[in-house]
Each structure stands twice: as structure tokens, then as C-alpha cells.
Structure 1
């Protein structure tokens, strides 16, 4: 079998967290003096760490972003996620199919902080399926660099060239493709990025539902 493992992103792929996180971040930035719309906030931060745009934030709120500032954001974000988070439709089905086909050799490799990733997977009942859960925060460089996917492949003792990466953003697709994995991009009807954009970033295949992904695993492997 050409592929031996599957590496899943988390936010926007497994859990429907992005709108919740963006709403919290938007309100926080507005309270701090940056008058931007919720849509603009999503455009700037989708698929990224908040700290990756620290210079832009600091310019617009007039002060530095320190650990205390981030701690307030994390507390507000995590509270909202604990109250509201749901799984992406049929993502549990897709993870179960990958777990079955690849005999448990699957990992979650997210650009988000590990506490958030683990909390989200646990809340929607997915944590039990993953052999490894990794965060780009624990790597020297986060997405769009390849580090977290290279680390995930290493943790599964699998060549990265034998891994399928499941992503939904240009940042994530770039990360998986530059690592040397085959990237499949989740692109539902209301996606933030078009199939063409994701393919230009390096996705080899696009699919529109997690039910389709489940079928791809079960029918082709």
C-alpha cells in the first residue's frame, strides 16, 4: 500500500472551531481598540497562530502582545469552545475509517496549542483514535513550515512520503506539501478557500464532505 498513515489537522477539519475562536478574538481586538470587522478578522487569522500576526496587532492596539495578553485570549477562547464546540459533520466517521484502514496509524498534527487541541478532541470524542497528537507550538517553526508534519510522521515511525495529510487551509496545505506528504484538502461548500487555491498551494485531491473522505479511505485502501 502506497500510504501507511494519515495525519489530520484539527481546526476546520475535525472540529468546527474556527467561527467560535474568531468571534472571541474579534471581540477581544475590538475591546483593545482595533476596529475591524469579524470577516476581516477571519481573513487575517484563519489557519494561523495569533502570535504570527503580533506586529499587526500591536500596530493596531498600540501596545505589545505579551504572555498575559495571550492568556486572557486563551481563557476566553477555551471557555467558548467548551460550551459550544461540535465536530465537523461526519468527521468522526472519517477518523474511524482511517483508523480501521491504516490499523490505528493516524495522528493529529495541529498548528494550535496542545491544550486546545487535546481539549477539543476529547470534547467531541475523537482523542481515543489518535496514536499521536502534536502541536506546532512545540516545534521550532509552526505551519506553514513543515515541522509539525515531519514530527508527526517521525512519531508514527512512518516516512513522510507515505503519509496522507488532511487539511483545509492554504497555510496547512503548504505545511503538508512542503513536508513531502500527499495532501488532501477538505473544501466544503462554505469553505474559506476554493479548491483551486488549495490545489495551487499543493493539494493533490479535494473533497467536499467528511463522508466522501471516509469512502475514499474504505474504497481505495
Structure 2
């Protein structure tokens, strides 16, 4: 199928950020009294915003969820990403192939805040592909797993959601893409945080383990 637009998630799809972000979050939560393993933190928070989990954080820490605490977490997270962030192997080739494939273009539609998304894309050299086509769930009425951010990206590109391909790596993101009416393919690396079966159950129509495989999948 020829897609009119290809919409990429950011974290875990284009940049290898989720381990870095979750390490910072786990430390921040532990300092407030909630001890989680790396696996537990990933399972709870990947594909979601920290502020969405406010009730759970307050319940487990016994402390109020404050804007000050959230801003401090963002600052610590951004320092870690600026120091150590790397591109997902094959992502540059995947993005270039998607841009060549899609008649109406490509966009990055993330559940994360805009500063983080744009900083990450710039750091790994992908921003030239997405300049002016970055969408943040923080700026939508609802973030993933609601479809708002994908619907906004499709609308911006003048694409019908049913003619869009979404590239995701989390259940929340796949749920969002499916709810938007798009075709969703899941990137699921061998050391991924969610199983291929789980991603298929969420609605992914294809699952692939290497981002470098996307050009061939688009050409098939």
C-alpha cells in the first residue's frame, strides 16, 4: 500500500531515549519514597506522560505531585538526554525512505513535551526532516492513548488518517494510531520493553525488529 503520510513517534522509535528517561524518573521517584525496578518503571510509564500518572505517584510516595517537582524532573531528564542520547540504528534511513514514499510528507507525533522532542531530533540530526511538522501530546486536549496528536499531524499534512502510516513502539501509541484510523506498524527491537504479541494485540498490523527494515517494508 502506498501511504500519503508517515507519522513517527519519537521516543524509542527515532531516538534511544526511554532507558535514559526512565533511569532519571526511577531515581526521582525513589527519592520521594517509591522504589521501582527498571522493568517496573518502564512498564508503568513508557508511552505515557508523567503528569498522567499523578494519582499513582501521589499514592505511592505519600507526597503531593507539584509542578516544581515535575520541572526538576524535566531538567534532570534533559541533562541526561543532552549528554548521552543516541539515534535508533537505521532511523535516518527509515525517515529518508518514508519522506520519499509519502506524497504528503512525514511528521513526528509524540506524547512528550515539545522541548524534549525538538531537542532530541536536533541532537541526533533528524530535525531537518521534521522542521515545522512536530506535534506534542502535551499541546492536545488528550495525549496518547487518545488519537488527538495523530489526528493533528494528519490534518496538518492534509492527509486522511486512513491513508496514514503510524510507526510506534508502545501499546499506548499503537492504541492512539488505531483510534485515529491509521495503519500502525510496530518497531519492536530484540531488547524492547514490550513484546511483539502485546503490540499486535494493541492493533499493530506489522511488527519489525530493526528500524533499518522500514525502507524495504515501504517498498514492498
Normalising by structure 2, we get a TM-score of 0.96
Gaps of 5+ in 1: none
Listed one character per residue, the Cα deviations across residues 88-145 of structure 1 (whole Å, up to 9, x for unaligned) are 0011110011112225700000000000000000000001112510000000000000
Is it true that 1:205 corresponds to 2:202 in the alignment?
A: no
- Aligned partner of 2:155 in structure 1 is 154
Give the root-mean-square deviation of aligned CA atoms: 1.2
Q: Compare 191-200 and 98-107 and name the one that shifted more.
A: 98-107
Q: Secondary structure at the match of 2:166?
A: strand
Shift of the alpha carbon at 1:2? 4.1
Partner in structure 1 of residue 72 of structure 2: 72
Equivalence for 1:29: 29
Shift of 1:27: 0.5
Deviation for aligned residue 1:38? 2.2
Q: Do structure 1's residue 95 and structure 2's residue 103 form an aligned pair?
A: no
Runs (5+) with no aligned partner, structure 2? none
Which runs of at least 4 in structure 1 moved beyond 4 Å after TM superposition? none
Aligned-pair distance for 1:193?
A: 1.6
Q: How does 1:108-119 map to 2 (within 5 A)?
A: 108-119=108-119
Shift of 1:75: 0.2
Contact 1:26 1:38 in 2 (8 A): yes
Distance 1:192 1:41, change over 3 A: same
Report if aligned partners of 1:49, 1:111 keep a CA contact under 8 Å in 2: yes
Give the secondary structure class of the aligned counterpart of 1:142: coil
Q: What are the superposed Cα offsets for residues 3-46 of structure 1, whole Å, 9 maximum, x if unpaired?
A: 10000000000000000000000011111111222221111111
Distance apart, 1:171 and its partner CA: 0.4
Counterparts in 2 of 1:104 and 1:158: CA distance versus 1, 3 Å: closer
Greater mean alpha carbon deviation, residues 52-61 or residues 74-83: 52-61
Residue 179, structure 1, aligned to residue 177, structure 2: no
In the superposition, the TM-score normalised over structure 1's length comes to 0.96
SS at match of 2:186: strand
Q: CA deviation at 1:192?
A: 1.5
Equivalent residue number for residue 81 of structure 2:
81
